Amino acid sequence: MLFVTISPKEAKQYAYICTRLKSTVNKMSEARKTLEAVANTSFDKPFAKCMYMLTSESLQCENEMRAQIDSMICNDNEKQQDAGKEKRMPVTKFSSIEGVCRYFEDAYLKSYRKLLKDKKFNTSLRNLMQNHLRQFNASLMQMRLFNDVKTMAN
């Protein structure tokens, strides 16, 4: 059996990273559920399909981040406490696709950029976050292109 000893400073940094990652993933999850709710209530089928593609990408990145958190064996007391609570999502209405894009930028892109500015994350986590950020930027571009094509068709 192998025992690893870490200093209190390293333990503090490790806990900090876990907390930041969990916070970001929870924010992403709530944003994804909001976007799914918008897609579910949309009568515009091409728009809803585009939104589902966006939320599918989000779920994939969310799962990858949760896998990182699980591999770090972060303290799961929060997960156990939240297991019995079911949150109801507020109904969010967007007046345009540009409103959805702004919401997406706030919920995803800004969160990831803040994480990437943090020097406490190791190289592998930073690479994962940079890949996710590229995916999110591509998804945002697709939403904007969808809006441009839709505007030109009308």
Name the residue with higher pLDDT: 88 or 146.
146
Which domains does the chain show, CATH number per domain? 8-72+94-153 (1.20.1260)
The 10s digit of each residue's pLDDT in 9-21 is 888 888 899 999 9
What is the average per-residue pLDDT within 112-135? 92
Query: Which 3-state string (H, E, C) describes 38-50?
Result: HHHHCCCHHHHHH
What is the pTM (predicted TM-score) of this model? 0.78
Query: What confidence category does residue 75 fall into, taking pLDDT thresholds of 50, 70 and 90?
Result: low
Task: Say what the pLDDT of residue 64 is.
Answer: 93
Q: Between helices 97-104 and 45-71, what is the axis angle to 10°?
A: 10
- Return d(Cα 74, Cα 15) in angstroms, integer: 7
- Residue pair 143/150 in contact by the 8 Å Cβ criterion: no
Name the residue with higher pLDDT: 145 or 94.
145
- Return d(Cα 77, Cα 112) in angstroms, integer: 24
The 10s digit of each residue's pLDDT in 76-117 is 545 444 444 445 555 566 667 788 888 889 889 999 999 999
> What is the pLDDT of the chain when averaged over all its residues?
82
Residues 6+ apart with CB under 8 A from 74: 15, 18, 21, 22
Query: What confidence category does residue 48 fall into, taking pLDDT thresholds of 50, 70 and 90?
Result: confident
pLDDT at 150 over 60: yes
When mean pLDDT is compared across 7-16, 65-74, 122-131, 143-152, the lowest value belongs to 143-152
- Return d(Cα 59, Cα 28) in angstroms, integer: 9
Residues 6+ apart with CB under 8 A from 24: 65, 111, 112, 115
